[in-house]
Amino acid sequence: MHHFQERNGELWAEEVRVADLAREYGTPLYVYSTATLTRHFQAFDSAFSQLPHLTCFSLKSNSNLHVLKLLKELGAGADIVSGGELHRALMAGMDPKQIVFSGVGKQEFEMQAALAADILMFNVESAQELETLSRLAGEMNTTARISLRINPDVDPKTHPYISTGLKKNKFGIQMSHALELYARARDLPGIEPVGIDCHIGSQLTQVSPFLDALDRLMALRSQLVDMGLNIKYLDIGGGLGITYGEEEPPHPSELGQALSHALQNEDLTLILEPGRVIAGNAGILVSRVLACKSTDDKNFAVVDAAMNDLLRPSLYSAYHRIAEVRANRRPEQTVDVVGPICETGDFLAKDRILPGLQADDLIAVFSAGAYGFTMSSQYNSRPRAAEVLVDKDRARLIRHRETFADLLRLEENV
């Protein structure tokens, strides 16, 4: 359920007309809904209320400072994968004791910054990382709390590019190497093993892969307890899917019930790293039609948003629902909605049935709140889009549209 609804032929973001936002802030424009972000966070977080738990919002899905501040006010921690994300989380006022640091290739300056901030836990992904972390913690006279990110070899049944928990994927540590590496972690100075972590993939539409992964982690945990390790945290990662089109992913409460059942008698704090399920349907991308043209084979609507603004359709052939911002009641047409970038792969939708579009019409691309702006670029020297956060009948610009000066700023005077 989200707060981008059509009323009397017009699309509204909460109590604001989307067409008014496009007029005021220009297009392409990302629009987020406070009520939707709030609702999604609370629905997710409360699904685990029977367990000691921490919901660490995955910054890679949406890292706008103002979105982070809102989620922090609701009690969110952060799942970060870079020094830049650490910086954003801290600048948003997030509590370091609610930050977990994942990532297959952490650099020394990133580990040092996270040690200095005294974050809750590093999710370590290689033996090399463990050794480096131990050395850096020693140099800084501190201790790194760690979990090992285990690759449980579970098929998440999702797009291959966003499957992460299979043996053939680059992520985590193979289960059969885990005990040896935990033993090393126990013995290394400056390292305190406190958790077990996994993340098996993204846009999961079933609960069962989470439970399969949990089973494997719990089996490992009892072996770790036998080794004398005090494992306090179990981090199951993110990955719960959303409805883009026809998908029917489980409600967070289903996942909550299943995990609560499995963990009810365990002395563990569950950590969750949701991204998409919080932010995905809390944002739309608004774009203006620049031109329409037809060939013998195809109708094209060329719009002012492109793959640099929203990469998912080009990269994953991902489906995003598209609708007009103002119903035009023209006869339907099958159309490719494409951007101005000089690549055939630059499209937002292919063979989509939409009411006939004309130049200057506004369209909304739905489910763009996660992995939308964060994956955007300046390809073709296109300044990045602006971002707006709506709260009831008010809209606030939360990121300026980039300018031509922004394109050149770091290249001048060097």
E-strand stretches of 279-355: 283-294, 299-303, 322-324, 332-338, 347-355
Tokens of 126: 């290689």
Q: Would you say 130 or 242 has its CB closer to ligand LLP?
A: 242
Strands 121-124 and 322-324: unpaired
Q: Reply yes or no on whether 342 is catalytic.
A: yes
Q: Would you say 197 or 361 has its CB closer to ligand LLP?
A: 197
Q: For residue 58, give the DSSP letter.
A: E
Q: Would you say 125 or 304 has its CB closer to ligand LLP?
A: 125
Nearest distance from C-beta of residue 196 to ligand LLP, angstroms:
14
Q: Would you say 190 or 239 has its CB closer to ligand LLP?
A: 239
| Binding stretches for ligand LLP (CB under 6 A) | 58, 60-61, 79, 102, 162, 199, 202-203, 237-240, 273-277, 312, 370-371, 375
Sorted by sequence, the CB contacts under 8 Å of residue 83 that are 6+ apart come out as: 107, 109, 110, 113, 114
C-beta of residue 345 within 8 angstroms of C-beta of residue 310: no
Closest residue by Cα to residue 197 from 252, 140, 129? 129
Nearest distance from C-beta of residue 409 to ligand LLP, angstroms:
27
Burial (CB < 10 A; 0-12, 13-18, 19+), residue 28, is: buried
* CA atoms of 344 and 338, how far apart (whole Å): 9
C-beta of residue 103 within 8 angstroms of C-beta of residue 79: no
Q: Would you say 77 or 190 has its CB closer to ligand LLP?
A: 77
Nearest distance from C-beta of residue 79 to ligand LLP, angstroms:
5
Q: Would you say 167 or 330 has its CB closer to ligand LLP?
A: 167
Strands 29-33 and 386-391: parallel
Q: Would you say 217 or 240 has its CB closer to ligand LLP?
A: 240
Residue 71's identity, in one-letter code, is L
Nearest distance from C-beta of residue 306 to ligand LLP, angstroms:
16
Q: Would you say 312 or 382 has its CB closer to ligand LLP?
A: 312
CA-based angle 79:84:87, to the nearest 5?
Answer: 80
* CA atoms of 193 and 143, how far apart (whole Å): 10
Nearest distance from C-beta of residue 80 to ligand LLP, angstroms:
10
* CA atoms of 122 and 101, how far apart (whole Å): 5
Backbone φ and ψ for 277, nearest 5 degrees, come out as -65, -20
Exactly one of 56, 198, 292, 342 is catalytic; which is it? 342
* CA atoms of 33 and 1, how far apart (whole Å): 12
Sorted by sequence, the CB contacts under 8 Å of residue 18 that are 6+ apart come out as: 4, 10, 11, 12, 31, 284, 286, 325, 362, 364
H/E stretch holding 86 reads helix 83-91
Q: Which residues are annotated as catalytic?
A: 342
